[in-house]
Amino acid sequence: MAFGEGSYEIRVKGRLSDSLLAAFEGLSATVEPVETVLYGPVQDQAALYGLLDRIQSLGLELVEVRRLPETPGEPRQSLPRGEDDSPSGQDHPGR
């Protein structure tokens, strides 16, 4: 799985209006008493940074970003050769 790819939960402070929620097309939202929770799939790292940039440009306060665990039925994409992310007991420089 590429860095950034997966499902995310993004919490922002406050209760977002419908017009603000429209800025996050493709994500679901739940409005809680003191914050709004956006969640859904994010294609890649660039898309994740785009969401975070949109939150900042709208003047929203970011509370938390959390990558959600894979669901059992979700297919795992294979990594390009040489980019195995499973623990193998070998030292990986830069990790």
Bridge partners, residue 10, by sequence: 38, 65
The closest of 93, 88, 74 to 5, measured between CA atoms, is 74
- 1 in any annotated domain: no
Angstrom distance (rounded) from CA 84 to CA 76? 13
- 75 in any annotated domain: no
- 85 in any annotated domain: no
- 11 in any annotated domain: yes
pLDDT of 79 reads 42
**CATH code of the domain containing 45:** 3.30.70.980
Angstrom distance (rounded) from CA 39 to CA 7? 7
pLDDT of 70 reads 81
Q: How confident is the model at residue 3 (pLDDT cuts 50, 70, 90)?
A: low
- 91 in any annotated domain: no
pLDDT tens-place string over residues 7-38:
999 999 999 999 999 999 999 999 999 999 99
Angstrom distance (rounded) from CA 4 to CA 47? 8
Angstrom distance (rounded) from CA 19 to CA 34? 18
pLDDT tens-place string over residues 42-80:
999 999 999 999 999 999 999 999 999 987 665 544 444
Domains: count for the chain: 1
pLDDT of 89 reads 46
